[in-house]
Amino acid sequence: MTTAVRWEGVYPALLTPFTADDQLDLPLFEKNLRAQLDAGVHGLIIAGSLGEVSTLEGAEKLALLETARETAAGRVPVIMNIAEASTREAVRCAREAETHGADGLMLLPPMRYFADARETIAYFRAVAEATPLPIMIYNNPVDYKIMTTVAMFEELAVLPNIQAVKESTRDLTNITRMRNAFGDRYKLLCGVDTLALEALLTGADGWVAGLVDAFPDETVALYELALAGQIEAARSLYRWFMPLLELDIQPKLVQYIKLAASATGIGSEMVRAPRLPVTGEERERVMQIIRTALANRPALQLS
């Protein structure tokens, strides 16, 4: 039985932990999952960019899905990311995720090929028509070079299971544009850690978060403070958090966030080649950011 997806709140873009011999570290994955659930996250996203999806095999994605479903036990929905180069493979992966119990999908535009608007819409439509699972479109033209525009979302609005947008354009006004065009037709979730508070106060419904992989309690607290209108407390927490959140917008965000998760005891530094763990001055620079944050970690309270 699937768990309803509301597309509101904090949805971690989960890391994929590996062992020293390059296998999935499922016990560590479960440890991180439990930390997320204990913090009160509202959903889980597996095999995303932070999850090193481009290096994962199909069987590994399904193993992560199974572990996440068993650990969540229906408390929150489990979302499978779809990031494929061909429409046919994207459709196959969506159906496979449905068969294996995913509660919803996050869908990127075609990978590697720079699809135009007509091609991108056809790609999204093909996946949406192949499964009844609810879908969140990942709109990230900065990293993936394809912008899903308001006009494109107009065409996609006839597809009822395309329900949400991971808003990663880095243009905060796009939240207001989408609200003006569609009202509440689409749920909007911030996809950029360094814009999270601004996005939530502008009207985003939630946050697909990265540093949550290392700091789940602080991430959920920031969301709850914003939701409760406790702006001064939210600002204070956000200012403490920002040096860490900036790790999410670096080319080596996977290595840096894994380093942070290792430092907080719910992850490891192991990545899959061609990525390599950071070393030397680079590692020390990132560790100094993490150590400073840990030394000044705030007490979390909601009044």
Residues 12, 39: Cα–Cα separation, whole Å: 11
Give the active site residue among 11, 138, 144, 238: 138
Is 144 annotated as catalytic? no
For the purposes of burial, counting CB atoms within 10 Å of the CB of 25, is it exposed (0-12), middle (13-18) or buried (19 or more)?
Answer: middle
As given in the structure block, the two tokens for residue 31 are 């440890």
| Catalytic residue (one of 61, 123, 144, 166) | 166
Strands 9-12 and 162-167: unpaired
CA distance 255 to 267: 11
Q: What single-letter amino acid sits at 37?
A: L
Residue-level length of the chain: 303
Cβ contacts of 133 within 8 Å, gap of 6 or more: 2, 94, 97, 98, 102, 103, 104, 105, 161
Query: Using CA atoms, how far apart are residues 225 and 241, in angstroms rounded to an integer?
Result: 14
Going 125 to 127 to 131 to 137, the CA torsion angle's sign is: negative
**Helix H or strand E encompassing 126:** helix 117-130
43 with 79: CB under 8 angstroms?
yes
166 is catalytic: yes
296 in Cβ contact with 240 (< 8 Å): yes
Residues with active-site annotation: 138, 166
